[in-house]
Amino acid sequence: MNFFPTPYPDEILYSTLGRYCIRSGNIKEIHNFEDLFSTRNCIASVELPSKIDALIENMPVNSIYTAEYFIYNHTLFPFYAAFIEPQRAEKIIKSMRSGRGADAYIRLGLVSNSIDLNKYFRFCPQCFMEDIEIYGEPYWHRIHQITGVFVCPKHKAPIYNSQVLVRGGSRQRFITPSIDNCIVEKEIYYPNEYIEKMIWMAEDAQRLLNSRFDFKEQEWFKRQFRAKLIEKGYARMNNFVHQKKLAQDFIDFYGEDYLKLVQSPVQNKSQNWLSSMVRYNNRITFTLRYLLLARFLGIPLDTLFNERIGFKCEYDDIDSYQQLWEKRLVELSQLGLSIREIANILDSTPKTVRRAIDKLGIETFWKYNGGGKYVNKKYTDTNEFKVKRDHLRAEWIKLHNKYPNKSSNQIRQSHQALYRWLSKYDLEWLRQHSRRKANISSTVDWNKRDKELLSKVKEVVKELQQGKPQRITWSTIGSRLGVNGWLLKRKDKLPLTREYIESVKEGLQEFHIRKIKWAIDKLEKEDKEITYWNLVEVAGVKPRYLKFISKEIKDILIEKGYNCDFL
């Protein structure tokens, strides 16, 4: 290239490349890709562009730009990758610098995530006019393209969809904003209770784009959030979290409608994305949800990334440490643990724990077999033990009389606590008063069942072969028919069914090839371009599996008259 446009403040790289295409003088769009990347085998990606190393190599002599500069200052990488661990971030950067752009989206979970990315490029009308006045032309701003950002942080005003698709249409064109494709057909008015939250989100997103915080392991963020949850009374120091209370207060804070708008509703109050975030696991969710939780807990982003939240064990903070230690002691003493167990958790001694309990006047609920309650005699020698044993024996006999057709093992399944106590303290008696259920001989006519099942299996296979592909296996067929528990185990008694399923079941590569064929047909019907990225996204086949079936994919594409150079 003989020249390259100077990127504007907060301009997304896609927009800068679009301005190059306008000035290049090339008649055909594809020639712009050859200028920029030295290849035609490339697509115009918005959030996480690839082949950036090739772009740098083609820059004019003495160019000051680097791949790192573009990635951190003119793509959405700093936002989408803000909460991932350093090793994964490094791999994503390598994918963006090379030609494996699809890998970057997959590693960030943007392909399988429940979040739908923006369908259209977005713009702020006031920024649009200011850009023309200052620079002589408008451009696409990074902050406006982030999913979940609905207002411009600079003007505190709504942003609008343009008429330019982010995905779909031609993926080998860079389209810049203009008065023809950035039209405000109808003004947007958000409820007042939304505006404040939308401004928060826009400002926090902009902070992530511009601050270049250090990448952290997931454990860092889990501990940061956990410390605040404890401080605000949503969690205890023994890792217990009041999930329902947390979920309800979170919903009250943001409102159900706003959470739906940012694709983060909290529906089931005990099992949802929010409950997963505050548990100790390595799952990574969408960046926007980290920002939602941080705002709710009152954690500034600088603090979240740079300062360890929670108690610090300095000498001059000994009073705070004592209060925290005593608070945890109160919590643990209500869980039915022995003094020794509490001492181990608190990294203390039983003597210290007992003295603190007496000092604080804690009402304890000790286990019968510990905690210092029976210091001078065994628990099994006490009258309390004998009373409880007689009561539980009577309960065990009562259950057997109530369920005469059940074995002791079946009764045990729904009365685990009773069984555990008796097996621990009264095992010999328990053995003498247990029964087994007599085996009932099978009267199944397997020949008849085989014939009936075969017709049902054929119907299921026909359904699986239509619509979005599902792998045809014994397990899939059994699940559809509700017989997964015994179908495979009894296949030797079902010769007709077994022979048919074995003839139609799919190996992993066969299934992937069928998914690719389906994806090509779907892209054709939707009039979309057949590209590597589109095949991965629509078929749902991970790139690491495509290399094993690349020959078959090429044959399919050639047969349909498509170029297969991108494989």
Q: pLDDT tens digits for 436-446? A: 765 545 577 88
User: Quick one: average pLDDT of 475-483?
Assistant: 85
**Range(s) of the domain holding residue 544:** 509-559
For residue 526, the tally of other CB atoms under 10 A from its CB is 10
Tell me whether residue 91 is in a domain. yes
For residue 191, the tally of other CB atoms under 10 A from its CB is 9
Which residue, among 226, 219, 254, has the nearest Cα to 83 in the 3D structure?
219
Tell me whether residue 209 is in a domain. no
Tell me whether residue 101 is in a domain. yes
Distance CA 86, CA 387 (A): 60
Tell me whether residue 410 is in a domain. yes
Task: Give residues with Cβ within 8 angstroms of 357, minimum separation 6.
Answer: 329, 333, 339, 364
263 and 158 housed in the same domain: no
DSSP conformation class of 494:
-
Count: domains in the chain: 5
The last residue of one of the domains, among 461, 476, 506, is 506
For the record, the structure tokens of 564 come out as 């297969």
393 and 476 housed in the same domain: no
57 and 146 housed in the same domain: yes
> Quick one: pLDDT at residue 349?
77
- Is the distance from CB of 379 to CB of 368 less than 8 angstroms? yes
150 and 180 housed in the same domain: yes
31 and 138 housed in the same domain: yes
Which residue, among 301, 13, 296, has the nearest Cα to 145 in the 3D structure?
13
The last residue of one of the domains, among 287, 306, 325, is 306
408 and 553 housed in the same domain: no
**pLDDT band at 318; cut points 50, 70, 90:** very low
Q: Rounded to the nearest 10 degrees, how much is the dihedral formed by the CA atoms of 263, 266, 271, 276?
A: 60
33 and 112 housed in the same domain: yes
Q: Quote the percentage of the chain above a pLDDT of 90.
A: 44
**pLDDT band at 100; cut points 50, 70, 90:** confident
**pLDDT band at 113; cut points 50, 70, 90:** low
pLDDT digits (tens, 9 = 90+) for 512-525: 999 988 888 888 87
* Cβ burial, residue 450 (10 Å; 0-12/13-18/19+): middle
Distance CA 527, CA 529 (A): 7
Tell me whether residue 118 is in a domain. yes
478 and 521 housed in the same domain: no
Which residue, among 358, 297, 312, 357, has the nearest Cα to 330 in the 3D structure?
357
DSSP conformation class of 473:
-
The last residue of one of the domains, among 193, 227, 261, is 193
158 and 302 housed in the same domain: no
Tell me whether residue 291 is in a domain. yes
260 and 160 housed in the same domain: no
**pLDDT band at 43; cut points 50, 70, 90:** confident
394 and 492 housed in the same domain: no
98 and 184 housed in the same domain: yes
Q: How many residues does the chain have?
A: 567
Tell me whether residue 364 is in a domain. no
> Quick one: pLDDT at residue 256?
92
Tell me whether residue 361 is in a domain. no
pTM for the model stands at 0.59
